[in-house]
Amino acid sequence: MLPVLYPPVLISSQGFTFASTYRSFFTNLKAGMITLSSPDLFQQFRNEMQKIADFRYASAVLQWDQETYLPPKGAAMRGRQVATLSETAHQAFVAPQLGDLIHALLDRSDLTLAERRNVELVHEDYLKQQKLPSSFVRKLAETTQRSFHSWIAARKENDFRLFADDLNILVDMKRQEAAMLGYLKHPYDALLNDHDKGSDTDLLDALFSDVRQPLKELLDKIVASPEVDDSFLRQHFPKQAQWDFGMQLLKDLGYDLEAGRQDLAEHPFTINFNSNDVRITTRIDENDLSNMVWSCIHEVGHALYEQGLPESEYGMPLGEAASYSIHESQSRLWENHVGRSLEFCEHYWPLLQQYFPSQLGKVTAEQFYRAINKVQPSLIRTDADELTYHFHVMVRYEIEKKLIENSIQTEDIPAYWNEHYQRYLGVNVPDDKRGCLQDIHWSHGSFGYFPTYSQGSFYAAQLFGKASKDITKLPELIRNGENQPLLGWLRKNVHQYGRMYKSEELCSLVTGDGLKIHHFLDYMLAKYSNIYQF
């Protein structure tokens, strides 16, 4: 997934009429023509928040276009357009008059629980965004646009140096952002908190410490076991047939194609403009079937979450995802707990054999299940198995933390990356494209995002475990291709709440306990001891 652009700092269309409307509202407010004790004050607040949202989602549309259909010569002007929209939305959001409106609502005693929570969350965001000058927001948007295109060029030429200068500027700006936002212990905490409120380096260091050794021990057992044969996955699988199968998967899993679409992109991602317009992308390797299939399932997990958020809360915090960690829990749940299950394979095996008769005609569903769950240290995070995946995340987390604390510089990244891939995974990195240039996140300025991939996996195990207890015969339902009961459970227990709760609070509400790593470790041990027979 994206590196995901969800939930975007981005947003819809009416934006170009907003500036005059905004000025008019607050001119009247200051003149006393609108009073802060008006019974429809919350509706005025909602209207203004939705107009700001329009700006942000208009920017999101331009970013989606940039990564799908934008012609190369349009890149420079697109950077200006996105920067202008980002700056304008930020200026509107941090205006003192909006602060007056927020504070007036905080003093009200007649708000509903949802209304009060919306106001409280906007107040938190308002105080945070006030710390960032609009000129800085514009410059950051311009820098990320430039960095994205230099990343594309660097990948094309397989040369990190082509990206290094822009990345260096971007890292410096993220250090400045951390300083402006403030932190208690580590500057990286300020950026982590952007992606999962309450997350910090102490929490993540402890989480990764808790899983590092158990995963390494499990990996050692697997490496010592007979190897699983997955060679049949790397035949020629025609692009159109893969695309058609992927589209069938999206429909079966509940993705509303009248409220979304799928396209091809350099790096798969999900982006939303409202709950009725949620778009995903995938990529296709004609010599690797698994690349496209589980990319589709991962991204549709994100999209199902966005499509399940309350439409009535557009522009408000309760219309946004709880956090990036919870967002990743949704994609990892569908991708791994459903999409890599034996039951899922058994259901789709006849259809896969219809699409690819010569490639898969002599393979069984059981063999396919074992193949798609093969554990093998590798170079590419998005292609990694469920176990080694977290070592990929750890490398990126450690690099980001050191970059932001200024203990390593951008020119150190390739050497640090290569050394730690050898240390954690025992693989030699042959070039930059298959090494430190593989992910899009840094070019987007998404520092602090990578840890949510692991956190999301940990939450997914705990949530799926609870769903399995609540939904009668869930494995049989998946075997029969009946995905609606699980989707309905997620809609009720996760999607409907938006940002009402922090990640840990939501987890506790749904499962009866905060995040406990043993759910994930127990799931991994049970799955791989069965596949590798130890």
Cα distances (Å, whole numbers) of residue 212 to 270, 346, 500, 532: 29, 32, 32, 20
* Residue 350 tokens, joined: 């006849």
Count how many Cα atoms sit within 13 Å of the Cα of residue 271 in the half-sphere of its side chain: 29
Residues 6 or more apart from 435 whose CB is under 8 A from it?
160, 379, 414, 417, 418, 421, 429
Q: Are strands 277-282 and 270-274 parallel, antiparallel or unpaired?
A: antiparallel
Taking the alpha carbons at both ends of the chain, their separation in whole angstroms is 33
Between CA 353 and CA 361 the distance in angstroms is: 6
258 is catalytic: no
Between CA 449 and CA 3 the distance in angstroms is: 8
Q: Of the candidates 42, 172, 22, 40, which has an alpha carbon nearest to the alpha carbon of residue 95? A: 22
Please name the amino acid found at residue 218.
Answer: L
Residues 6 or more apart from 342 whose CB is under 8 A from it?
365, 366, 369
CA angle in degrees (0–180, nearest 5) for 518-523-529: 120
Between CA 495 and CA 174 the distance in angstroms is: 31
Between CA 443 and CA 437 the distance in angstroms is: 10
Please name the amino acid found at residue 489.
Answer: W
Please pick, among 299, 306, 320, 346, the residue that the annotation labels catalytic: 299
Four-point Cα dihedral 81, 82, 83, 85, nearest 10: 90
Residues designated catalytic: 299
